[in-house]
Structure 1
Amino acid sequence: MKRQRLFFVYACLLVPLLFFIGVRIVPIVYSFLVGFREWDLLSEEKPFVGFSNYVALYHDPVFLTSLRNTVFYVLLGVPGQLAAGLAIALLLRRIIRFRAFFRTVYFLPYVTSVVAVSWVFRWIFMKNGIVNGLLLQLGLPSQLFLGSPDQAIFIVTAAMIWQNLGFQMLIFLTGLENIPKEYEEAAAIDGAGAWQRFVHVTLPLLNPVLLFSVIIASISYLQSFTQILNMTSGGGPLNSTKSVVVYIYELAFKQFNMGQATAATVVLFLLILLLSLLQLKTLNRKVEY
């Protein structure tokens, strides 16, 4: 009877394991193999070329630009998203009336279509958009915004931060509500001010939530695609907003160069893996209650 129960348990575990291997592990291994071949969708021959695809990436200025832009999205978007989300969560924690309403309002952009949000931002910051209209009314010169190589990346990052703000707020709010109030009350009795309680009590106890948020947000910005594709028509102007994922998309489905596109995918995979491990190493701190 015990063996039958164990067999049933292992059988139930084996089915999702095989599914995971089939849809996750096998494609990853296959991608590594494709990256070592000259894989043209229009050609039947796919010869082995070794590291030539990776060398081509290193000498491709468009790829290097997209890699730099992707790093910029992470460096600007992750701290901005976390800081804004935590600030709103701290404010919502203190209100009593209409709490559910405010939570819904802030969370609503996160469940809104990314394409719709991207086009709204594109309309707001277009040449004859709302923002330029306000600038002209204030006597200030109009700006190119999404048409400027220097400004476009900031507008795209702002759209990403705004849309993901609700998710970040909800995560932080959940973490704040799980912190025992006795710790803050004890610190207040000892004479600690609001800022001291936040730095020495709230933030350390929020470390697990902060670690989760940093890793999830970093992966999200490293995979930036939809906003860029819709707001800047695929990375314009002059590739100033092009991310690595957009570069891979254009290389694979516009130029049909699957070998080099897969090599770029492997580079992105390694970048995400190394960054996640680094964040786990540096931000993971054990907090004793």
Structure 2
Amino acid sequence: MRISLTDRCNYACYYCKPDIAKHLCHSDILTYEQLLDICRCAVLLGITRFKITGGEPTLRKGYIGFIRRLKELDGVEQVTLTTNGSLFSFSDLDELKKIGIDCINFSIDTLDESEYLKICKMNNLEKVLLNLEYAYKIGIAVKVNCVVDNLFSFSRFESMLELIQDKKIALRFIELMPLKNSDRNTKMDELIEYVQKNYTLNAYDEKLGNGPAHYYKITDYQGYIGFIEALHNKFCQDCNRIRLSSVGQLKLCLFHMDGVDLKPYLDNLSELEKVMREWIFKKPKEHHFEKENSSTVMNEIGG
């Protein structure tokens, strides 16, 4: 289960910003106690792995305490965090390490400072990379997510490989899905063709998390590269994830709009569990991004 703590973000990445119309009021979003009640029911249904997302989850006050309490719930096997990595202090990362965060996914689309500023309208790449380095140094498992859209370049790929030269980091290239107002064109096919032509790839079959990435080792590199291709290598048959928005909407697929508002059931956990079970079994067979865009708003559901 991917849990969005907030729709707000301190970035304005061009591939996501068009989805942001009006932010939610703080009173609209679920309290941490309500989120934990939903997680308790999820565990009873066999859902034991959780991903904390946003917007930018580290913007929400008290997120570390929430992760601590989630990690302490009976039956929870794994809690991971996806973030742009810009708001951490080293003490935050020390605390996350102490409470046993299982992995932090850093969203980093380029290592070029000027390009970074153009993409996300923030000029703090150096701080993000220092936080990534520190998290890796203290033994937190880290991954890097890099979006592949129609502006992605081979030179950007080449520079990103610096991250895995001497570190056992999973660097994942993620095909941008055509959500609301998004461009349908990506360069994922071109990127994979380029990599296959210019590098010796060795398939890496061991699991590096819960995602659908296909991983490879490149000769002389310590880390791994992965490709997540929602359009050109459809993986719906293996998808077992559901998403919870910060306002309590249980969403079953990024493409389909079907879902259920869990707020009315939060005062009766047995009824909440029943409703969650009913809707999870309604999870659609597959998306249809190859035919049309979705109306999903990315900043509200966390990818």
Work out whether the TM-score is over 0.5: no
TM-score, length basis structure 2: 0.22
Instruction: Give the structure with higher Rg (CA).
Output: 1
Higher strand proportion (structure 1 or 2): 2
Higher relative contact order (CA 8 A, sep 6+): 1
